[in-house]
Amino acid sequence: DTGVSQDPRHKITKRGQNVTFRCDPISEHNRLYWYRQTLGQGPEFLTYFQNEAQLEKSRLLSDRFSAERPKGSFSTLEIQRTEQGDSAMYLCASSPRDIHYGYTFGSGTRLTVV
């Protein structure tokens, strides 16, 4: 599989629980992005990694959100003490250093907080 993989595809959790999502980018891509998308809206930037370094994080993110990319390979996004407002599609994308061909997006993880 040469695409971007995200796991799980769907997650239903109770309010207050912690959740963790995983993204496996295309192996030769050194750039990795996390976005959040709600119904009828465009993707909203969450954070950006270049290799293992987290170079930018949205100010919209509260302290409940954290992301890692150990060894510059896969990445995880954790949400602590989930709230109903966290319900959304969480998208991961990767790209090589030259983004001429744009980002390759995964299919996303749909989070529902009940």
List interacting residues with other proteins (CB under 8 A).
33, 35, 40-45, 48, 50, 55-56, 58, 60, 91, 93, 99-108
Taking a C-beta distance cutoff of 8 angstroms, is the pair 83, 114 a contact? no
Q: Which is nearer to other proteins, 8 or 81 (CB)?
A: 8
Rounded to a whole number of angstroms, the minimum distance from the CB of residue 75 to other proteins is: 15
- Residue (48 or 65) nearer to other proteins, CB: 48
Q: In the complex, what is the shortest distance from the CB of residue 98 to other proteins, in angstroms, rounded to a whole number?
A: 10
- Those residues whose C-beta lies under 8 Å from the C-beta of residue 54, and which sit 6 or more positions away, are 47, 48, 67, 68, 69
**Calpha distance 18→27 (Å, rounded):** 28
Record the tokens describing residue 73, joined without a space: 């390979």
Cα four-point dihedral sign 43, 104, 106, 22: negative
Least Å distance between CB 92 and other proteins?
Answer: 9
With respect to other proteins, which residue has the nearer C-beta, 42 or 70? 42
Task: Please identify, using beta-carbon distances, which residue of 74 and 105 lies nearer to other proteins.
Answer: 105
Shortest reach from residue 74's CB to other proteins, in Å:
17
